Amino acid sequence: MRSHTPKVLHRIAGLSMLGHVLDGVSGAGADKVVVVVGPDRPDVSNEAIRLRPDAEIIVQTERLGTAHACLTARDQLGEGFDDVLVVFADTPLVQASTYQALRAKISEGASVAALGFDAADPAGYGRLLLEGDTLKAIREHKDASDAERRVTLCNAGLMAFDGKQALAILQSVSNQNAQKEFYLTDCIALAAERGLKVTYALADQQEVMGVNDRLQLSQAEQLMQHRLRTRAMLAGATMIDPASVTLSHDTVLGRDVLIEPHCVFDVGVKLSDGVTIKAFSHLEGAKIGTDSVVGPYARLRPGSDLASHVRIGNFVELKNAKLAEGVKVNHLTYLGDTTVGSQSNIGAGTITCNYDGFAKHRTTIGAHAFIGSNSALIAPVTIGEGAYVATGSVITEDVPADALALARGRQVNKTGGAAGLRQRLSRKK
């Protein structure tokens, strides 16, 4: 990846590749998860625990192959589970249903089941070699005969074992090869030689793609985005130009949501029914109530919580702001660490000045208040219900309910002053 970040912590749709795999196996019903990591990788271990607190972490101190990686968890393998899935954190697009299909092969009596795919171009992939419906071996491309190379059924790498036989099969793998490594793929032939039932499950080639560089990461992102958009539209959301919309893995879109082009949904966004997100808006950690409208060119940062029928217009930024029903913030405004009561109107150019260089402070605006354009509210400050803040005011003290607050310099007009000013300036020039 040419990165300081471990490969499996690179993100797709806002979630690490490791996270996608943990989600998938959890969705497939995994009772226990063991994550095998390399040495000196506490960042990978921490991510696994953050996402799946009950995960057990095993460190593979020597890199001696995929079967060896599995055997670092020999104590857990010896617990005798119904089935064991061996999966890879750099194969992030595999869905829970595919993991379940592998598990089903074990419940149907197989001792080992490999995951395969039918490749349009099988060059470079290991081949699944069959006799009837029985999987006899996995042959690497470089070792395959001409006839075997014509096989298009290829190895995806993932595998399932009968939990009561997994440890014995893995322990029988040897390292008698040029690389002196213990290969997971050898389990197929070893199990077949023992007369055990060995089979395979099929997946789509795109679903089992591995990610090893930035190009493949971008391709996986595109595939994930297509999956997320499709799911959202089939559930009742409208996207005018789906390819221009970026979703997060956890984006929640209600029915009759309308999303205009070039919108980005970062982690933690939830839209209720009937919400409209206009073009070029960016949302993160935001909750938006029924029939609200956001944008165009709006930015909602974490902690933005909008009730129903709220209107957020162009070039408005919210951060940690709670807006009650019917609030209007139509243009060119920043509300940070702010609470706004129902039916209030925030004029263009309003700023809540929430940071003093050392700490954040909150602004509270009551219901039915009116904040005139180009006002600065210096937090901490409270604007009472029904209060009116005059345009251009700098508010440093609380405003009582139904009060009119004016906090601006008095205007002075000097007759003929402009002409005199031009004369003075022209002489200097």
- Residues acting as catalytic residues: 331
194 in Cβ contact with 138 (< 8 Å): no
Quote the tokens at residue 281.
């808006």
Taking the CA atoms of 220, 44, 22 and 81 in sequence, report the sign of the dihedral they define: positive
CA 292 to CA 309: how far, in whole Å?
Answer: 4
Cα–Cα distance, 194 to 183 (Å, whole number): 18
Q: For tokens 């997060």, what's the residue?
A: 248
Nearest to residue 308, comparing CAs of 271, 280, 345, 337? 271
* Joined tokens for residue 288: 């938006």
Residue 71 has a CB neighbour count (10 Å cut-off) of 19
Query: Which amino acid type is present at position 278?
Result: K
d(CA 394, CA 386): 18
The 3-state DSSP class for residue 106 equals: helix
User: Do 249 and 269 meet the contact criterion of CB atoms below 8 Å apart?
Assistant: no
- What is the rounded CA–CA span in Å between residue 107 and residue 124? 32
Is 205 in contact with 199 (CB distance < 8 Å)?
no
Chain position carrying tokens 């000013």: 421
For the chain, the 3-state helix, strand and coil shares in percent, each to the nearest 5, are 25, 30, 45
φ, ψ for residue 229 (rounded to 5)? Answer: -65, -45
Single-letter amino acid, residue 91: T
336 beta partners: 319
Backbone angles phi, psi at 321, to 5 degrees: -120, 130
From the list 382, 328, 377, the residue with the least C-alpha distance to 350 is 377
Q: What angle do CA 141, 143, 146 make, to 5 degrees?
A: 75
CA 188 to CA 114: how far, in whole Å? Answer: 8
Does the bond joining 380 to the residue before it have cis omega, within 30 degrees of 0? Answer: yes
